[in-house]
A and B are shown apart, each in its own frame.
Chain A
């Protein structure tokens, strides 16, 4: 059934390098062989590296899982043959940098024993999830060279996808792996494609093959059953490099362009290599995970050119030995084709899942490029570019590291196909410049991100330090505030008891403040009282305790000394108090304490003003006698008179305050003061006074009794009131006893 459709779109640009494919298509695909060791890197695919699930020393069977998927985009690694895990370590991998990566090293035991396999007779009967699970567990990745995990690609939402593109193009010179697999295993490919088409529920499958592979086209045609002929369409097109690139092939087969930065799935297209389709068939139907692939071994330095099915992990040097390589002639070891392949330094690296070709050219076959000449702006590179870029401009910007402009030239749309460098007459290594440019831009972006983070962290740290400082400052201020408030509160309390305040200030003043005469007098009074008491005790002791007489006499002596000291202090203090400085100090202290100046001070003030007035009057008289101008003196006299009046008024006021007539509180305090003074002097209260006190106490007690009765009636808590009542009753008893004693 002729399933070839006509419409294809021409690829812009492109080149026609010599194909050199005939050398490796002469023979059929050779059988795999088991090498001395197998090195299986954990990251042979795009996405996260696999996670090892075996340990060193484990015996494994062919097809056994060695490392599982890690994350959403990952692939598994399986044992290509049975043997023992001899190491899990860093090994050289086929990468342009020559670096090493973690790999599982397997020592084959030669038995090539499979693990248990469960082939499915009819995969269509299996549930979708099971099929997906099997694909995911099989480690199938894109075998065309990119290595994207197939399970992820086939996992796209079928609603989105309407076309499956099978890439049988193999546009790069020398490589014939896909050609051979299409010739020999077309039925596997079509079967695999059917699985893919089913999973993605696509309307059509487009198979793109270049017209330089007539046998492959025929084989594929034959493999498509009639029932699928409408859905599976083979499109052939003129050979041109690089038609096989995913984006380019999509354009050629469908006329659609994948938008920059997006994936073909956004157009509803999924693209898979024919080798991947065959591997998928084996994985799903025969339960054979991906453990081998077809690799082309070619180049003039190779003795036996051709394709071979190679076990993944086979060291390249062993594979090449099997093809009789002449190391003397080999100029390069290229993994891949001459246009996009990676030149490797070490042949001992393993064949990995994406190794589609090993090319060993001689110097003559692929001569080295000459030294780089200046660009002559011929524009051939722009004509060759399949992506519509301006390689010239990208070169200039990459050379001068003008990275911003380089990116604006759509550098990241470059597929690094090498067509531009191929045509350049100046031998400029254009692709290397673009790879360098891409690396620089990515590195700068990473650095920029890192420095933004560092800046944010730095600013956060600054903020944190500021906040801590502010907190400390706030705490200190709060403490100062509290102290100030406490001081103020104390001041406010004392305004109702100027005497108490005066006492406090006098205590302070006793060290350095103004001199308080009242305190000194009190001291004398108390000392006197103590002396009197001592005399009384001594007289008593003469009769009751004659043995301790000297002690009593000594005590009396002490008290008399103290009295003498107090008297001296008083005399001195009085003298000092008249000192104007002291007076001022006193007045200031009094003002600070919110207390007005004492009566004594005011009297002194009045006296001073009177003196001054007198002096001025004398001055005035003298001036009048002399006939001088007296206006100034008169003014001064008036001022002094005013001050005198003011002082007099203050004095009167203070005197009045000192003897509050109606203020009950003041009265009580005054009474308390008198009583205290009397007690200090050893004088008890008089009988009359006591009687008055008793009467008052009785009143109070009656009041409390009433309160208690009320509370009890109301059912309130009475414990506090009872306490108060008891205290008052006790005090009353005491007073009554005193009275009784006095009246005796």
Chain B
């Protein structure tokens, strides 16, 4: 009987001790802000398109940190979903079609002959990638355009096209060799 009591007492004291230590550590070493939001934001593609339903990538990152689904980002695509699943230790899900489909990278291009200089697209661009002013020619800075598609709708003369980004000699590289023998081979490939 005594041994049982001693055992209980010993374990109890140990757990109190460690609990106190952990509690102290959780207060003293609490990280500033929520670092997980930064990490999630670093994975998201920063297109700022709003297709996920949030006004930008940072708000979506915060929503994910609060438990929102990770499969709402079409520009990020499969690779982003997998990276987020890895980071947050959740099951990866297929892209939610409600929020759009994964398209190849695109950039916007303005047909300058038709541009009327209304600045509506400039106001719509979340990364200020359109140069222009009222009654002046508008043009897209192709290097900064994230392909988010938000400028196409506001244009009253529908003069903006989304064109796929082409591979150049500098960006071309070999495909991964196809080693799959049966359809279920592959997994995360």
Task: Indicate whether A and B interact.
Answer: yes
Interface residues of A (CB under 8 A from B): 43, 95-97, 99, 101, 371-372, 398-401, 428-429, 432-433, 435-436, 438-440, 442-443, 446-447, 450-455, 457-458, 460-462, 464
The reply to whether A461 and B126 form a contact with Cβ atoms under 8 Å apart is yes
Please give, as numbers and ranges, the residues of chain B lying within 8 Å of A442 by CB-CB distance: 173
B169 touches A432 (CB 8 A): no
Chain B, 150-177, CB within 8 A of any chain A CB: 167-169, 171-177
The smallest beta-carbon distance between A302 and chain B, in angstroms, is 27
Which B residues lie within 8 Å of A462 (CB)? Answer: 56
Chain A residues positioned under 8 Å from B173 (CB to CB): 435-436, 438-440, 442-443
Encode B59-98 as 1/0 by CB contact (under 8 A) with A. 0000000000000000000000000000000000000000
Residue B46, interface by CB 8 Å: yes
CB of B127 within 8 A of chain A? yes
The answer to whether A399 touches B189, judged by C-beta atoms less than 8 angstroms apart, is yes
Closest-by-CB residue of A relative to B141 is A457
Say yes or no: A99 contacts B172, CB within 8 Å: yes
- CB of B102 closer than 8 Å to a CB of A: no
A292 to B48, alpha carbons, bound, how many Å?
53
When distances are taken between beta carbons in the complex, the residues of chain A under 8 Å from B41 are 455
Chain B residues, CB < 8 A from A464: 128
A464–B126 Cα gap in the complex (Å)?
Answer: 12
Q: Which 9 A-B pairs have the closest CB atoms?
A: A439-B173, A451-B46, A457-B127, A454-B46, A435-B174, A97-B172, A372-B179, A455-B46, A436-B176
Is A400 a contact of B174 with CB atoms below 8 Å? Answer: no
CB-defined contacts of B56 to chain A, threshold 8 Å: 458, 462
B45 touches A96 (CB 8 A): no
**Smallest CB separation, A20 vs chain B (Å):** 26
8 additional contacts (CB under 8 A) given A400-B188, A436-B177: A95-B169, A398-B176, A399-B189, A433-B177, A435-B173, A442-B173, A454-B144, A457-B144
Q: Are A96 and B144 in contact (CB under 8 A)?
A: no
**Which chain B residues border A372 with CB–CB below 8 Å?**
177, 179
Chain B, residues 125-153, CB within 8 Å of chain A (1/0): the string is: 01111000000000000011010000000
The tally of residues in B whose CB lies under 8 Å from a CB in A reads: 29
Q: How far is the CB of B164 from chain A (nearest CB, A)?
A: 15
Residue pair A458, B46 in contact (C-beta under 8 Å): yes
Measured CB to CB, the nearest residue on chain B to A447 is B45
Cross-interface CB contact of A454 among B127, B172, B174, cutoff 8 Å: B127
* B47 contacts A by Cβ under 8 Å: yes
CA–CA, A432 to B126, complex, Å?
39
Determine whether the beta carbon of A443 is less than 8 Å from that of B177. Answer: no
Q: List 25 A-B contacts (CB under 8 A).
A: A43-B169, A95-B169, A96-B172, A99-B168, A99-B169, A99-B172, A371-B181, A398-B176, A428-B179, A429-B177, A432-B176, A433-B177, A436-B173, A436-B176, A442-B173, A446-B171, A450-B46, A450-B143, A451-B146, A452-B46, A454-B46, A454-B48, A457-B144, A458-B127, A462-B56
The answer for the CA separation of A96 and B174 in the assembled complex, in Å, is: 9
Interface set of B (CB-CB < 8 Å, partner A):
41, 44-48, 56-57, 126-129, 143-144, 146, 167-169, 171-177, 179, 181, 188-189
CA distance A97 to B168 in the complex (A): 10
Q: Which chain B residues border A97 with CB–CB below 8 Å?
A: 167, 169, 172
A442 vs B174: C-alpha distance when bound (angstroms): 12
Query: How far, in angstroms, from A436 to B175 measured CA to CA in the complex?
Result: 6
Residues on A with C-beta less than 8 A from B172 are 96-97, 99, 439
Q: Is the interface of A mostly helix, strand, loop or mixed?
A: helix
Bound-state Cα–Cα, A400 to B126, Å: 34
B146: chain A residues at CB < 8 Å are: 450-451, 454
Given the known A-B contacts A99-B172, A454-B46, A454-B144, are A461 and B177 also in contact in the complex, defined by CB atoms under 8 Å? no
Residues of A within 8 A of B47 (CB): 451, 454
Query: Please, which residues of chain A bring their CB within 8 A of the CB of B188?
Result: 400-401
**Shortest distance from the beta carbon of A563 to any chain B beta carbon, whole Å:** 64
Among B146, B169, B174, the most chain A Cβ lie within 10 Å of the Cβ of B174
Q: What residue of chain A has the Cβ atom nearest to residue B46's Cβ? A: A451
Chain B min CB distance to A93 (Å): 8
Residues in A neighbouring B167, C-beta threshold 8 A:
97, 99
A364 to B144, CA, bound (A): 51
Q: Could you tell me the distance between the alpha carbons of A455 and B177 in the complex, rounded to whole angstroms?
A: 34
Q: Bound complex: CA of A371 vs CA of B173, how far in Å?
A: 22
Given contacts A372-B177, A439-B174, A453-B144, contact A458 B169 (CB under 8 A): no
Q: When the two chains form their complex, are residues B57 and A455 in contact, meaning their CB atoms are under 8 A apart?
A: yes
Contacts of B171 in A (CB 8 A): 443, 446
Nearest B residue to A448, CB-CB: B42
- The one of B45, B46, B144, B189 that contacts A400, using a Cβ cutoff of 8 Å: B189
Known: A399-B189, A443-B171, A457-B127. A432 touches B177 (CB 8 A): yes
Contact B127 A436 (CB under 8 A): no
Q: A371, A440, A461: which contacts B127 (Cβ < 8 A)?
A: A461
Which residues of A sit under 8 angstroms from B175, Cβ to Cβ? 432, 436
A-side contacts of B176, CB under 8 Å? 398-399, 432-433, 436
B180 (CB) vs chain A CBs: closest residue: A372
Most chain A CB inside 10 Å of its own CB: which residue of B144, B169, B175, B188: B169
Interface centre among B46, B47, B48, B129 (most CB of A within 10 A): B46
User: B57 to chain A: which residues have CB within 8 Å?
Assistant: 455, 458
Q: With a CB–CB cut-off of 8 A, which chain B residues contact A455? A: 41, 46, 57
How far, in whole Å, are A101 and B168 apart by their CA atoms in the complex?
A: 10
> Which residues in A have their C-beta under 8 angstroms from that of B129?
457
**Beta-carbon nearest neighbor of A434 in chain B:** B174
Return the chain A residue nearest B47 by Cβ. Answer: A454
Shortest distance between the CB of A370 and any CB in chain B (Å): 12
CA distance A439 to B127 in the complex (A): 27
**Cα separation A400 to B79 with both chains bound (whole Å):** 12
CB distance from A98 to the nearest CB of B (A): 9
Contact A101 B46 (CB under 8 A): no
A429 to B179, CA, bound (A): 10
Closest residue to A372 on the B side, CB-wise?
Answer: B179
- Which A residue's beta carbon lies closest to that of B125? A461
Chain B residues contacting A432 (CB-CB under 8 Å) are: 174-177
Give the residue name and chain of the A residue nearest to B172 (CB).
A97
Contacts of A96 in B (CB 8 A): 172, 174
CB proximity of A379 to chain B, nearest CB, Å = 20
Complex CA gap A443/B173 in Å reads: 9
> What B residues does A443 contact at CB under 8 A?
171, 173
Q: How far is the CA of A447 from the CA of B45 in the complex (A)?
A: 8
Smallest distance from the beta carbon of A461 to chain B beta carbons, Å? 5
Nearest CB in chain B: distance from A228 CB, A: 42
What residues on B are CB-neighbors of A438 within 8 Å? 173
Report the minimum CB–CB distance from B166 to chain A (whole Å): 10
